[in-house]
Structure 1
Amino acid sequence: MAFTRATGKHRRPSRVQRGTARAAGVAALAGTGVVGSFAAPALAAEPAAAQTGLTPVVTLGDVVADRIDAQAAAQHEAARVAAQEAARKAAEEAARERAVEEAEKARAEKERAAREAERKRLNTFVSPIPGSYVSTGYQSGGAIWSSGSHTGIDFHAASGTPVHSVGVGTVVEAGWGGAYGNQVVIKMHDGTYTQYGHLSSIGVSVGQEVAAGEQIGLSGATGNVTGAHLHFEARMSPEYGSDLDPVAYLRSHGVNI
């Protein structure tokens, strides 16, 4: 008897199909009484449908999926925590930078204010006798002066009137000055000199630093004078003969005279 096979592509039967076919064949053999010694081992060797591994595969797939989900959730949480920590550190760093910047600005402002205050202090000038007036002008002529003219200006003042330094400086002379009587000479911060003559008393000493408006003595009538007053000079050096116009000097420093 000849067997024919249909044309076309054939696939190998699946494992389940093979198992079903074997079971049908065994049943057919049992109907004919031909169930030999090989039948039982053949059936025993073929696993049941419940033992084909399909159910364990499904269960294992669920476990793996659960583990993947758990790992993904853990990674997401770790990423979230890391992002929060990075944001916290960034905020702290930004706060530190702002604090440093503000401290630097405050320091710079403090230094600027200090420089401005010092500049103002050094450039502040006042009249040697506030409220007084010039009674004898600069370079006035007369026999009373050995040079033939007045080398300074005289401020009207009764004896004992407080006399002030016109600006910031250092005392370079404090004592008897011959025709000037008791005198004080101050080297100003800009390198010029100021002289205060005919004092009745002296309140400073050589080397002492004085500020604008600081009292340095009292007016009087010591030396070559006809009456109490303050003789004031502005000089290029501490020496006689280097005089400047005192009125122009004081006005150039903002003194209203």
Structure 2
Amino acid sequence: MAFARPTGKHRAPSRMARKSASIAGVAALATTGVIGTLASPSLAAETGAAAPESGTVTLESTGLSTAVAADSLATEIADQAAAQEQEAEEAVARAKAAAEAKRKAEARAKEAREARERAAREAERKRLNAFVSPVSGSYVSTGYQAGGAVWSSGSHTGIDFHAATGTPVHAVGAGTVVEAGWGGAYGNNVVIKMKDGSYTQYGHLSSLNVSVGETVTPGRQIGLAGSTGNTTGPHLHFEARSGAEYGSDIDPVAYLRSHGVTI
């Protein structure tokens, strides 16, 4: 009696069909990069392969492990290269920032140094152009053009500052010494040609501290007060002149005040 094979959806797959399906499943797993465990001991038996004790099938000949490892190594190398490149860029940026900070610091230091130098030059300029009283802390004891027989011209050609013998006498401003020594009625005297072309004279000195040709600055000690020459007692005779000649005298008080000296 012959049996007819069931058809349609109720027909069971043949052994050959089951084998083909199992192989197709393995191929699909290999294509997706998945190497897994297949619960098909019959596949191993039917293909003649020895099934592992755990019941798994190992795909040894696909080359997928090598490809995955190579791709992973390439990715790691690329990441390292990118990290090194970023680190190098950051190092360059830090070096540029440090160089810029150094440049700015040097520029600030230069500006500060130049400002100090300008201030020092200005202070020196002011000092050299400044005027001081010839005797510190003193006062005028005899005024300009005071009359009397004691003066050969009939009047006082300068002013007298109260000063005891040995009191320091200072140059009232910057200039050059054109006379230093005995001056007749003026006794020991010093004459200075000032920077503005005027002249100042210091008479009756007990001693001198400068010589002809010497350059002096404001406040420089040029001698000590005394009573040499035509005098009735120790004091400083101070004159201001528009020229070197005797008789070119000008008001010493006005002269000093015009240069900022308070008398």
TM range, normalised to the smaller chain?
A: 0.5 to 0.7
Residues 58-103 of structure 1, C-alpha deviations (whole Å, 9 max, x = no match) = 4565355335413421331122122221122112212321331132
Q: What does 1:237-256 correspond to in 2, within 5 Å?
A: 237-256=243-262
Cα deviation for residue 232 of structure 1 reads 0.3
Cα deviation for residue 143 of structure 1 reads 4.3
Kept after mapping to 2: 8 A contact 1:165/1:216: yes
Residues 114-155 of structure 1, C-alpha deviations (whole Å, 9 max, x = no match) = 113313421443222223221222223344444443321112
Residues 146-175 of structure 1, C-alpha deviations (whole Å, 9 max, x = no match) = 444332111223444332222333322101
Please say if 1:110 is aligned against 2:116.
yes
Please say if 1:207 is aligned against 2:213.
yes
State, as a whole percentage, how many aligned pairs show the same letter. Answer: 64
Residues 4-34 of structure 1, C-alpha deviations (whole Å, 9 max, x = no match) = xxxxxxxxxxxxxxxx9xxxxxxxxxxxxxx
The runs of at least 4 consecutive aligned structure 1 residues that moved more than 4 Å come to: 58-61
RMSD value, Cα: 2.8
Q: State the alpha-carbon separation in 1 of the partners of residues 192 and 147 from structure 2.
A: 26
Please name the residue that 2:138 is paired with: 132
Q: State the alpha-carbon separation in 1 of the partners of residues 175 and 68 from structure 2.
A: 95
Q: State the alpha-carbon separation in 2 of the partners of residues 99 and 159 from structure 1.
A: 57
Please name the residue that 2:48 is paired with: none
Please name the residue that 2:71 is paired with: 65
Please say if 1:236 is aligned against 2:239.
no
Cα deviation for residue 186 of structure 1 reads 1.8
Q: State the alpha-carbon separation in 1 of the partners of residues 197 and 67 from structure 2.
A: 97
- TM-score between the two structures when normalised by the length of structure 2: 0.66
Aligned equivalent of 2:90, options 84, 97, 105: 84
Q: State the alpha-carbon separation in 1 of the partners of residues 258 and 242 from structure 2.
A: 15
- TM-score between the two structures when normalised by the length of structure 1: 0.68
Q: What does 1:95-244 correspond to in 2, within 5 Å?
A: 95-244=101-250
Please name the residue that 2:47 is paired with: none
